[in-house]
Chains A and B, each alone.
Chain A
């Protein structure tokens, strides 16, 4: 069955450092992959989308890579700030076409940035 794996352990880093979060998926080939941020008790907020034919995507301090051979996406936050502290969810599209908009969400990795 389709499966998403993210580091379940919290990631603690010092302010100013680069945070790197990992997302691995198995048993299918998503057309695209999205990353969301979720704060406690709130709904997820979209950050970035990367398509299967894109190796890398950037947005301000965020960078996402997508390796379809390794079936892995890496999410980087450079020059991290305490305000970046949140849970980050990886969400590959459920189907290869991407037309349904249905996503499979990982459990998320909680990032804690210390001042």
Chain B
């Protein structure tokens, strides 16, 4: 069982609201990632981090921002949500070497 947690699992909000999606892992992993996935579509990397105070943008341009102040915590923030941000956001982490990604259960965001 993966020790990586995302909250909230589901969020429905109005346009213009600020939202933060939380992601925490208890495995001590340095590398963490945020992927975005629309229904029936592939996962796209939007942010990643190789450790504390390290954040980079992924392949898919996103208006969201991330921070990594603690190893275990990698929150994603949208300052002003829009309907185009409606999607599933998946957080993942990885230990040393070429190993597997551990995914959280995802946060499904709907912006009205």
Residues of A within 8 A of B (CB): 4, 31-32, 34, 36, 41-46, 49, 51, 89, 93, 98-108
The residues in B between 33 and 54 inclusive whose CB is less than 8 angstroms from any CB of A are 33, 35, 40-45, 48
| Most chain A C-beta atoms within 10 Å of own C-beta, residue among B35, B43, B102 | B43
Q: Choose from A4, A31, A46, A108 the contact partner of B101 (Cβ within 8 Å).
A: A46
Q: Considering the complex of A and B, which 3 residue pairs feature the smallest CB-CB distances, nearest first?
A: A43-B103, A46-B100, A105-B43
Can you name the residue of chain B whose Cβ is closest to the Cβ of A42?
A: B105
What are the residues of chain A within 8 A of B100 when measuring CB–CB? 34, 46, 49
- The reply to whether A45 and B98 contact each other, CB–CB distance below 8 Å, is no
What are the residues of chain A within 8 A of B35 when measuring CB–CB? 105
Residues of B within 8 A of A (CB): 2, 31, 33, 35, 40-45, 48, 58-59, 90, 92, 94, 98-106, 108
What are the residues of chain A within 8 A of B48 when measuring CB–CB? 100, 102
- The reply to whether A43 and B105 contact each other, CB–CB distance below 8 Å, is yes
In the complex, besides A51-B98, A105-B43, 7 extra interface pairs with C-beta distance below 8 angstroms are A42-B105, A42-B106, A43-B104, A44-B90, A49-B98, A89-B42, A99-B98
Given the complex of chains A and B, what is the CA–CA distance between A100 and B41 in angstroms?
23
Q: List 13 interface pairs A-B (beta carbons < 8 Å), by A numbering.
A: A34-B101, A41-B108, A42-B105, A43-B92, A45-B2, A46-B101, A98-B98, A99-B98, A101-B98, A102-B33, A102-B45, A102-B58, A106-B42
- The reply to whether B103 and A107 contact each other, CB–CB distance below 8 Å, is no
